[in-house]
A = this chain, B = another copy of it.
Amino acid sequence: MRLTTFSDYGLRVLMYVGAHDDRLATIGEIAQAYDISENHLMKVVHRLAQCGYVETARGRGGGMRLARAPRDINLGEVVRRTEDRSHLVECFDPQTSGCRIAPGCTLKGLLGEAMDAFFQVLDSHSLADLLVTRPKLVKLLALPRRGATAAPSGGRAARGRQRAG
């Protein structure tokens, strides 16, 4: 039972942006802070923007910020919208399900119940709950990358830069 790192990154981005709401945050800086792929993060951010969680500004001096108050960003909704494979097991997907016992199977309902319970927890929390430790987060995110001496001035050349590993 796993969530995609896509969802994971989505939540982390929201935490970052929420913790730095005094200014615009760029994809590059977030990728550097978490030491993850900038290219992948770009797609995550794009998705968050599509969903109306962040507003992005192109061009020099651009970046992103939250499009709503943290209180209004529900975590269950975020996960549901970043996790596209929403079926726990094969038989949840009517398209591909070929399980013979489906018509008499009580397992499906039970798993559905379990999944509901999972999301109910997330549904009852918002981004604001993740920001209660905000000062600590800001400090942790500001630390220099492991192994990196000083953030190289960067620019487009650094785009392909990868995890220190």
A104 to B137, CA, bound (A): 6
In the A-B complex, list the 5 residue pairs whose CB atoms are closest, starting with the nearest: A104-B136, A114-B121, A118-B118, A117-B117, A8-B89
| Complex interface residues of chain A between 86 and 111 (CB less than 8 A to chain B) | 86-91, 98-101, 103-107, 110-111
| Complex interface residues of chain A between 13 and 34 (CB less than 8 A to chain B) | 15, 33-34
Contact residues of A with B, CB < 8 Å? Answer: 1-3, 5, 7-8, 11-12, 15, 33-35, 75, 79, 83, 85-91, 98-101, 103-107, 110-111, 113-115, 117-122, 125, 129-130, 132-133, 136-137, 139-141, 143, 146
In the assembled complex, 25 residue pairs joining A and B whose CB atoms fall closer than 8 Å, in A order, are A1-B1, A1-B2, A1-B79, A1-B83, A1-B85, A1-B88, A2-B87, A3-B88, A5-B89, A8-B90, A12-B99, A12-B101, A15-B101, A15-B105, A15-B107, A34-B99, A101-B141, A104-B136, A104-B140, A105-B130, A106-B129, A110-B130, A114-B118, A114-B122, A117-B118
With most chain B CB atoms within 10 A of its CB, the pick from A100, A111, A141 is: A100
Contact present for A130 and B106 (CB under 8 Å):
yes
Contact present for A121 and B117 (CB under 8 Å):
yes
A129 to B104, CA, bound (A): 12
With most chain B CB atoms within 10 A of its CB, the pick from A101, A110, A115, A140 is: A101
